[in-house]
């Protein structure tokens, strides 16, 4: 599928702190969506917030997860994971910035590292109640012992939930501080929490008490945040028109990629002649196996802006995946040049060069793909294509090494090991 690449995120036995409370716990294996334009967008809108948090923007990653639930989380390190469902639910880039700011609060506060503190405190209560219950049962008071045990378990759970709610409130306050320092309005943050509150109403989630929840009620958070944000000079700061325009592009192409084509064509009918409209339909038609219609939408975008690398990338990949790799080369080569060899786009270009089955293209393919993995080592697709080049050139050791790198990134060490050996 054009532009987006998928890899799997594996998480075993690590804590994850969610930004919202409308989702199931993150799965142990989820697919990561990688797209050059989307990653550049996340980097651009998050950079001033990350800097305001005191972290180094070069060390913070925003990763898109293919999951329709409305959620964002951190799971150790300096990576913020955002579900595709959150992007679909958000109306503005400013709303997404509010979520990112909150998650950065978890990172700066070391909340994942301190997760064990809350578990330890709760476990202490639980163990103490078990000891008292055992003593009561041993003394012949079985019913009293069971009551002590149940009360202790409730107290332990309550202790942990209270710990979690405090962390969420701290992350809210930290996020507000970062947005203020960056001169970015908190309107989006408040608006997104209002969306969550409306969703809670529709789900019938009680709004009276947050005692048995990991997060404060959205209504409670809105009240606190509105008071904080409205007193801040940045509240009246205008939104960045480029970020908002770019967000509509990102949102459209994401829907076109993951949603049913009929749903996308309904939401972005042909009467919608915006960039977002053409973007969404190009992906929908391509996904529905109408390459000519998809290419027509991409051609319109390129005609509007011949130097937009992401339009050229889309045009080239539709041609490539429609069985026309030779025709795709000019667009992809230009996209690579315009982005200074952006690794994800370079990997697609390398694939197109290989797909022409012209041995004269292998030298360029090797150069482009080696540059791609040097800039982004965590790209199994690029490693696979590089391995194909090495194999075609008879360089079996390097082909095996490339395969080992690829399988390690795909979470298949049993396949990586024989290649590494």
Predicted local confidence at residue 148, as pLDDT: 46
| Mean pLDDT across 390-419 | 92
Q: Are 81 and 72 in contact (CB under 8 A)?
A: yes
Residue 293 domain-assigned (yes or no): no
Shared domain for 389 and 248, answered yes or no, is: no
How many structural domains are present in the chain?
Answer: 2
- Listed residue (18, 20, 17, 28) closest to 112, CA to CA: 17
pLDDT at 215 over 70: no
Shared domain for 235 and 369, answered yes or no, is: no
Tens of pLDDT, residue by residue over 224-248, are 888 888 999 999 999 999 999 999 9
| Mean pLDDT across 155-179 | 69
Shared domain for 242 and 356, answered yes or no, is: no
- Final residue of a domain: which of 252, 268, 294? 252
Task: Give residues with Cβ within 8 angstroms of 286, minimum separation 6.
Answer: 1, 2, 294, 318, 321
- Final residue of a domain: which of 224, 252, 280? 252
DSSP result, 300-340:
HHHHH-TT-HHHHHHHHHHHHHTT-HHHHHHHHHHHHHHTT
Residue 280 domain-assigned (yes or no): no
Residue 37 domain-assigned (yes or no): yes
Shared domain for 59 and 195, answered yes or no, is: yes
Query: Any idea what the CATH number is for the domain that residue 391 is in?
Result: 1.25.40.10
The tokens 């690449």 sit on which residue?
Answer: 5
Distance CA(331)–CA(376), nearest Å, equals 22
Residue 100 domain-assigned (yes or no): yes
Residue 264 domain-assigned (yes or no): no
Shared domain for 238 and 384, answered yes or no, is: no
Tens of pLDDT, residue by residue over 186-212, are 999 999 989 888 877 776 666 555 545
Shared domain for 169 and 26, answered yes or no, is: yes
| Domain carrying residue 201 | 1-252
Residue 96 domain-assigned (yes or no): yes
Q: Residue 188 has which token pair?
A: 């989006």
pLDDT at 265 over 60: yes
Q: Are 343 and 373 in contact (CB under 8 A)?
A: yes
pLDDT at 307 over 70: yes
Shared domain for 75 and 188, answered yes or no, is: yes
- Final residue of a domain: which of 200, 231, 252? 252
Residue 301 domain-assigned (yes or no): no
> pLDDT-based confidence at 16, cuts 50/70/90?
very low
pLDDT at 261 over 80: yes
| Mean pLDDT across 20-32 | 51
Q: Above pLDDT 90, what percent of the chain?
A: 62
CA angle (266 as vertex; 316, 199 as ends), nearest 5: 110
Residue 176 domain-assigned (yes or no): yes
Distance CA(264)–CA(256), nearest Å, equals 6
* Range scoring the smallest mean pLDDT among 104-113, 258-267, 292-301: 104-113
Tens of pLDDT, residue by residue over 281-296, are 999 999 999 999 999 9
Shared domain for 37 and 185, answered yes or no, is: yes
Among 92-106, 108-122, 215-229, the range with the most confident prediction by mean pLDDT is 92-106
């Amino acid at each position: 599928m054009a532009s987006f690449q998928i890899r799997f995120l594996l998480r075993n036995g690590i804590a994850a702190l969610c930004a919202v409370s409308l989702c199931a716990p993150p799965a142990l294996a989820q697919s990561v969506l990688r797209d050059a334009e989307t990653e550049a967008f996340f980097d651009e809108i998050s950079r001033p917030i990350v800097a305001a948090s005191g972290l180094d923007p070069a060390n913070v990653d925003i990763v898109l997860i293919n999951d329709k639930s409305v959620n964002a989380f951190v799971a150790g390190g300096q990576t913020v994971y955002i579900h595709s469902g959150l992007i679909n639910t958000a109306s503005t880039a400013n709303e997404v910035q509010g979520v990112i700011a909150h998650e950065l609060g978890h990172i700066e506060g070391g909340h994942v590292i301190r997760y064990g503190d809350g578990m330890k405190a709760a476990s202490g209560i639980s163990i103490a109640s078990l000891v008292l219950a055992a003593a009561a049962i041993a003394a012949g008071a079985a019913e009293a012992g069971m009551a002590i045990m149940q009360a202790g378990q409730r107290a332990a759970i309550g202790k942990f939930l209270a710990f979690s709610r405090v962390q969420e409130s701290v992350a809210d306050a930290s996020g507000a501080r970062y947005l203020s320092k960056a001169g970015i309005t908190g309107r989006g943050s408040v608006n997104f929490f209002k969306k969550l509150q409306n969703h809670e109403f529709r789900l019938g989630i009680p709004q009276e008490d947050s005692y048995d929840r990991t997060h404060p009620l959205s209504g409670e958070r809105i009240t606190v945040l509105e008071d904080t944000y409205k007193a801040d000079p940045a509240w009246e700061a205008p939104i960045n028109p480029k970020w908002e325009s770019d967000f509509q592009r990102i949102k459209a192409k994401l829907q076109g990629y993951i949603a049913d084509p009929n749903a996308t064509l309904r939401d972005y009918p042909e009467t919608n002649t915006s960039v977002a409209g053409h973007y969404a339909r190009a992906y929908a038609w391509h996904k529905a196996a109408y390459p000519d219609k998809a290419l027509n939408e991409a051609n319109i975008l390129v005609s509007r802006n011949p130097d937009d690398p992401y339009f050229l990338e889309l045009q080239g990949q539709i041609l490539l995946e429609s069985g026309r790799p030779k025709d795709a080369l000019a667009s992809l080569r230009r996209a690579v040049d315009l982005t200074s060899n952006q690794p994800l786009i370079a990997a697609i270009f390398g694939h197109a060069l290989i797909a022409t089955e012209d041995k004269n293209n292998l030298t360029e393919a090797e150069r482009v793909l080696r540059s791609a993995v040097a800039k982004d080592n965590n790209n199994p697709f690029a490693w696979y294509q590089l391995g194909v080049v090495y194999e075609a050139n008879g360089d079996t050791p390097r082909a095996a090494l490339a395969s080992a790198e690829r399988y390690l990134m795909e979470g298949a060490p049993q396949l990586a090991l024989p290649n590494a050996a």
